[in-house]
Chain A
Amino acid sequence: MKKFMIFGLPLFAFVALLVFLYKGLFSDPRELESSLLQQTVPHFNLPNLMQVDETFNQDVFLGKVTLLNVWGVWCITCAIELPYLTQLRQEGKHIVGLYYDQDIDPDFGQKTVQRVQQEVQQKLAQLGNPYAFNIFDVKRNLSLDLGVTGAPETFLIDQHGRIVLHHIGDLNPRIWDKKFASVYAGLVGAQ
């Protein structure tokens, strides 16, 4: 018994520590649990990027399973995922863009909307257009309410306007299969 106390206990503690630290090697600190899961999309009232006199609110997500993709032309990773998103659209998925511009700093003056539209059109013509439409998050208030930390991020929203998944980072076939496919199939099946 005493022998166990002297040798076994420290060994046990050491092994426990080893397992804990080893697991730590593979944990991703950027993987944050979104605090908005299972809640409805926050209230908003924002213009259509391509036609600013038309506005959208949270009801735009009702009745359809939607992928809401946060992006911008200045975002390099977004450019990488655009072709894959376009492929998803061709498979019949409803994808809505939440667009925001980097340039909000009053010191540098704001870009004109025409300039932003032009940049977006260029980018989409070049890499494919996955979006049914783009919501223009002018002051990034909706992004903030959604807990967006940067671009790209993607939300899966069900037909009742509830947020089901929140993915930080780009969407690619691997992430789709691992994280989205089964949940998406479940939602569409229930529709």
Chain B
Amino acid sequence: MASRFSVLCFCALWSVALLASEDAYKFDNGAQHATFIELTKALRCPKCQNQNLADSDAMIAQDLKRKVHELILQGQSSEQIIHFMKQRYGDFVYYQPPVNPTTIWLWILPIGFILAAGGAVIFSQRKGSTQLSDEQAKHAQTLLEKDD
């Protein structure tokens, strides 16, 4: 009984803790909250590079989250906020890379590879036919007969 009670207590406290972390930022409406969640997932922490802002606990990530919150309350759009971050932390800070002469290869290479591979398959099928010449057929026949 006592253990069941303690489990219950633990669950209750745990959910309160989760709610508390969620409620640290206050918003005027649900749409703003949704934008906040979306942006903190799409923006990358400049310090711990394989985490987004929502996941990261680094000081810089907390500062950026606070800034995102502040800008949302000011009524700025997602694009404006992403632009604000890019101006300070470069394209790196946003998970979606821009298309430019350096990054265009990310799109060209896979498509190019598929085209080249497809072309190679078609080319080899056309050329490498399985038709045997008469002489080859005769030779094959003798080999088969020898086997018996």
Contact = CB atoms under 8 A, between A and B. Distances in A.
Contacts of B63: 140, 143-144
A161 to B, nearest CB: 17
- How many chain A residues sit at the interface, stated as a range, is 10 to 19
Interface in B56-77: 58-60, 63-64, 67
A145 B64 CA distance: 11
A58 interface: no
A88 interface: no
Interface of A: 29-30, 32-36, 102, 140, 143-150
Q: Is the interface of B mostly helix, strand, loop or mixed?
A: helix
B67 A144 contact: yes
B80 interface: no
Interface in B33-68: 46-47, 49, 58-60, 63-64, 67
Contact of A32 (B59, B67, B86, B90): B90
A35 B47 contact: no
The interface centre, meaning the residue of A34, A36, A148, A149 with most chain B CB atoms within 10 A of its CB, is: A149
A150 B60 contact: yes
Q: Among the interface residues B58, B59, B86, which one has the most CB atoms of the partner chain A within 10 A? A: B59
B112 to A, nearest CB: 12
Interface of B: 46-47, 49, 58-60, 63-64, 67, 86-90, 92
A50 B39 CA distance: 38
Contacts of A145: 88
A147 B59 contact: no
Nearest to B90: A35
Contact of B88 (A33, A140, A144): A144
B90 A144 contact: no
A146 B60 contact: no
A135 to B, nearest CB: 17
B60 A33 contact: no
Contacts of B49: 29-30
A33 B59 contact: no
A15 to B, nearest CB: 17
Given A150-B47, A150-B58, 16 more contacts: A29-B49, A32-B46, A32-B90, A33-B90, A35-B87, A35-B88, A35-B89, A35-B90, A36-B88, A144-B63, A145-B88, A146-B88, A147-B90, A149-B46, A149-B60, A150-B60
Contacts of B60: 148-150
Contacts of A33: 90
A34 B90 contact: yes
Contacts of A29: 49
A147 B88 CA distance: 5
A34 B87 CA distance: 9
5 contacts: A33-B90, A35-B88, A35-B90, A147-B89, A149-B46
Contacts of A150: 47, 58-60
A102 B64 CA distance: 14
